[in-house]
Amino acid sequence: MKALRIVGERQVVVREKADPRPGPNDVIVQMKASAICGSDLHPYRHPRPADLEGDLIPGHEPSGVIAEVGRDVRGWAVGDRVVVYFRRTCGQCLYCRTGHRNVCVNRRSSYGVGADGSDAEYMQVEAPSLMRLPDDMSFVDGAVIACQAGTAYYPLSRLEASGRDVLIVSGLGPVGLLATTFATAMGARVVGIDPSAPRRDLAAKVGAAYVLDPSAGSIVDQLHARYPDGADKLIETSGSNAAHAVIGDLLKPLGRAAIVGLGSSEFKMPLMRLVHRQITLFGTSIYPDTQMDEIWEFVRRHRISLSSVITNYFPLEQGPEAFRMADTATTGKVCFRFE
């Protein structure tokens, strides 16, 4: 089969690799769509020795059809349409048993990180990682929701975004664009922030009431020119230290913020703003798989086009170009389609 591999800094190659075979509790999924996530770009831009020395296939946004089933697998059959939950968890800890697999304390390396991922024609998957793809949703929808749509929806549900809110989406990459789409459907007035003009344009198309450019002057002054008291809620997707530093100035007292982006390993925000304004701040890690049915129903009810955030499609054979495009930070989502 054809598969991608990272071989150096900003270097991806297409290669031939033996088709995977299922273990007793595994299935083989034939890929139909696999998208590139911002997390895939971290090892692409700055690969670690483990990224280069192994034989790892990247990608963790898989959607496809079961092609083969291991002998001990029950409840799944060849031909079933599936999405793969990319975080591999223990299934036994308190959090797994109470519907919070996303914060499993015994989790193993994820697909596309420590286990072969989805940027290939076939993928070996442990049966507990499978989620059904509804018949009324496309494989591209499945790839979008596998990581980034769920990652955008989950913090908004925790923020309880609604028509009462002015809600800032800081960072308008694919997660930010999906957060804009969902928050608008929830009734919030969304203010998008990003230095990329193409991404600001995309955010306006998917529902943002206003878009602001942090490179055009003080982002706090720009926001207060429209909303003198600041915003009610904020979702931060960029991971930028500069974006973190102004959260306390963008929010009203008693405001709430969800931190999603992992662009930086440090978080820098003036503590006085957090304390004096009594701002609630929480981190959020992908989404629990138990929320998947709720997300699908929300998408149906509001007639949301998940694929609207995809700006570029590529066949797997053009993997190097697809990663180069995603690396520009000017596009929406980049997706592989397997015909």
Ordered by where they begin, the domains of the chain are 2-133+305-337 (3.90.180.10), 150-283 (3.40.50.720)
d(CA 290, CA 157): 13
Please say whether the beta carbons of 210 and 169 come within 8 A. Answer: no
Helix runs in the chain, H state only? 38-45, 49-53, 94-97, 139-144, 150-159, 174-185, 197-205, 219-226, 241-245, 247-250, 271-276, 292-301, 319-326
Please say whether the beta carbons of 136 and 170 come within 8 A. Answer: no
| pLDDT tens series, the chain, 339 aa | 999 999 888 999 999 999 999 999 999 999 999 999 988 888 899 888 777 777 899 999 999 999 999 999 999 999 999 999 999 999 999 999 999 999 999 998 899 988 999 999 999 999 999 999 999 999 999 999 999 999 999 999 999 999 999 999 999 999 999 999 999 999 999 999 999 999 999 999 999 999 999 999 999 999 999 999 999 999 999 988 889 999 999 999 999 999 998 776 677 777 878 888 899 999 999 999 999 999 999 999 999 999 988 999 999 999 999 999 999 888 889 999 997
pTM confidence score: 0.92
One-letter amino acid identity for 182? F
Question: How is residue 310 written in tokens?
Answer: 């995809």
Q: Residue 272: its pLDDT value, please?
A: 79
